[in-house]
């Protein structure tokens, strides 16, 4: 049976949207557009776009942000909310629940964060640019998993699980670094109000509340006061995620009867009504955490992160920015050399001490290859760079290092994984007779 022209157009798009590499591809496209725009004759329009004012007002109260700050402080708070949901899910019921898996991922992430920071600090010691030591610490989880997904069955499942757990812990480290080291002019009153609102959200969840609109309203208030406190507003997103319950509601008993009756239903309208009821009850049975995660994921993948890349990846090469300056070199060497060395050293220490074991079917060559892939620091690295540097020139130098390192790490990691991960042998089917 031949498929319709519409199906031939729609089905590939659906497969792309559902693929693991979709987020990474969207990031690349947005970054290339930003880079080309910032180095084109229309570069002035790109800079003007950054400073377009955005004003929210109610009566005598108003909040004015540039479009760039709205993206970095507002939209990215939703991205960090999603990061927080993933962290909580993995700790409570995912891969990080297993102590040995958590130990390997945790120590590897620490090694992969500390060594790049030290390399950057050595290359920029005694200069104002030393503040950027946090830039090469971060791994872009969507980009990294997208690269690994390109090799399909060639990469062992255990290695994919390890990389996902590593990236989750890496994100947690990045959030802590932002909260502790990139906070200035702290207002304890605003911070106390934000934390009090988050505590209210926690108590609401503990009392059995599960309405996402309630968490959303409380989250907006917590975000505003976190913004006023001096702590970066995106931290409110991570903390809000920790307040959402992960427990699932019980599915009503009559759902099974409706599902069984659907197969015997001849009337198409009644069949649709039964299926809609079952779908609604199944959706309601999901925990608030899972419902919000499913709601945010496509928005984060196809809007929030690409828009962030569009506003932050536009580094201009016209200002004398080169690969040889200390900032660019520190980021580049930190991500490309520090990441794999730190991850491999920390993993080997964890295994030798008996704290953890390598995932099943994974060898040390593959662990080193994953270390190269972890050098893709795109989203988080750009975000920390925006907080670390007051000088536009230094930020441009850091962005060049991030982009160059991410491209090289993606290509080098893909090649290294291909060399260290042979295709699994095909299963032979016995044919009798």
Q: What is the pLDDT of residues 89-124, one digit of tens each?
A: 888 877 677 788 888 988 999 999 999 999 999 999
Q: Which tokens hold the place of 220? A: 């907006």
How far is it, in rounded angstroms, from Cα 30 to Cα 303? 10
Give tens-digit pLDDT for 176-186: 888 888 877 77
Q: Which tokens hold the place of 1? A: 């049976």
- In a domain, residue 305? The reply is yes
Q: Which tokens hold the place of 308? A: 């962030």
How far is it, in rounded angstroms, from Cα 9 to Cα 12? 6
How far is it, in rounded angstroms, from Cα 338 to Cα 420? 20
Number of domains in the chain: 1
Q: Which tokens hold the place of 208? A: 């059995």
Per DSSP bridges, beta strands 53-58 and 61-66 are antiparallel
- In a domain, residue 430? The reply is no
Residue 427 pLDDT: 53
The pLDDT averaged over each successive group of 10 residues in the chain (433 residues) is 47 45 75 87 87 78 81 86 84 78 89 95 93 89 75 79 83 84 82 94 90 93 89 86 80 58 59 61 71 86 86 76 85 94 94 87 88 87 87 88 90 88 59 51
- In a domain, residue 233? The reply is yes
Helix, strand, coil proportions of the chain in percent (round to 5)? 75, 5, 25
Counting beta carbons within 10 angstroms of the beta carbon of residue 221, is it exposed (0 to 12), middle (13 to 18) or buried (19 or more)?
middle
Residue 6 pLDDT: 45
| Domain assignment of residue 145, given as a range | 34-249+286-420
* Total-model pTM: 0.75
Give the position of tokens 């990236």.
167
Task: Give kind and range of the element (H or E) at residue 58.
Answer: strand 53-58
Residue 13 pLDDT: 41
Residue 70 pLDDT: 86
Residue 17 pLDDT: 41
- CA angle in degrees (0–180, nearest 5) for 399-401-403: 70
- In a domain, residue 256? The reply is no
CATH code for the domain of 340: 1.20.1530.10
- In a domain, residue 265? The reply is no
Residue 89 pLDDT: 84
- In a domain, residue 425? The reply is no
Number of residues that this document lists for the chain: 433
How far is it, in rounded angstroms, from Cα 327 to Cα 344? 25
Our measurement of the distance from residue 430's CA atom to the centroid of its chain's CA atoms, rounded to an integer in Å, reads 45
Residue 186 pLDDT: 78
- In a domain, residue 303? The reply is yes
Task: Give kind and range of the element (H or E) at residue 363.
Answer: none
- In a domain, residue 14? The reply is no
């Amino acid at each position: 049976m031949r498929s319709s022209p519409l199906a031939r157009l729609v089905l590939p798009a659906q497969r792309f949207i559902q693929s693991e590499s979709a987020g990474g591809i969207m990031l690349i496209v947005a970054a290339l557009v930003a880079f080309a725009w910032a180095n084109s004759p229309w570069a002035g329009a790109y800079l003007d776009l950054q400073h377009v004012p955005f004003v929210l007002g109610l009566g005598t109260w108003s909040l004015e942000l540039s479009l760039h700050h709205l993206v970095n402080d507002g939209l990215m708070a939703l991205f960090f909310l999603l990061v927080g949901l993933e962290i909580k899910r993995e700790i409570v019921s995912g891969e990080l629940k297993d102590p040995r898996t958590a130990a390997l991922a945790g120590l590897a992430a620490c090694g992969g964060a500390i060594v790049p920071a030290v390399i950057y600090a050595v290359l920029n010691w005694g200069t104002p640019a030393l503040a950027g030591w946090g830039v090469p610490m971060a791994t872009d989880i969507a980009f990294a998993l997208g690269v690994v997904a390109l090799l399909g069955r060639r990469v062992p499942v255990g290695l994919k699980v390890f990389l996902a757990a590593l990236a989750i812990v890496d994100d947690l480290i990045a959030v802590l670094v932002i909260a502790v080291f990139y906070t200035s002019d702290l207002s304890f009153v605003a911070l106390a109000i934000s934390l009090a609102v988050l505590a209210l959200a926690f108590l609401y969840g503990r009392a059995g509340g599960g309405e996402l609109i309630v968490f959303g309203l409380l989250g907006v208030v917590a975000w505003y006061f976190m913004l006023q406190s001096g702590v970066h507003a995106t931290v409110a997103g991570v903390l809000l995620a920790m307040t959402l319950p992960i427990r699932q509601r019980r599915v009503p008993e009559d759902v099974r009867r409706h599902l069984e009756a659907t197969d015997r239903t001849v009337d198409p309208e009644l069949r649709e009504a039964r299926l809609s009821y079952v779908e609604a009850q199944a959706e309601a049975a999901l925990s608030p955490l899972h419902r919000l995660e499913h709601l945010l994921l496509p928005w984060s993948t196809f809007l929030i992160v690409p828009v962030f890349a569009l506003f932050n990846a536009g580094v201009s090469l016209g200002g004398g920015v080169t690969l040889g300056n200390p900032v660019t070199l520190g980021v580049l060497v930190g991500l490309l050399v520090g990441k794999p060395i730190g991850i491999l050293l920390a993993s080997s220490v964890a295994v030798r001490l008996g704290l953890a074991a390598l995932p099943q079917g994974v060898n040390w060559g593959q662990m080193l290859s994953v270390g190269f892939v972890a050098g893709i620091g795109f989203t988080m690295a750009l975000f920390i760079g925006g907080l670390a540097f007051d000088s536009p020139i230094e930020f441009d130098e850091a962005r060049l290092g991030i982009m160059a390192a991410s491209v090289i790490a993606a290509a080098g990691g893909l090649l290294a994984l291909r060399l260290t991960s042979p295709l699994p042998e095909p299963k032979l089917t016995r044919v009798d007779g």
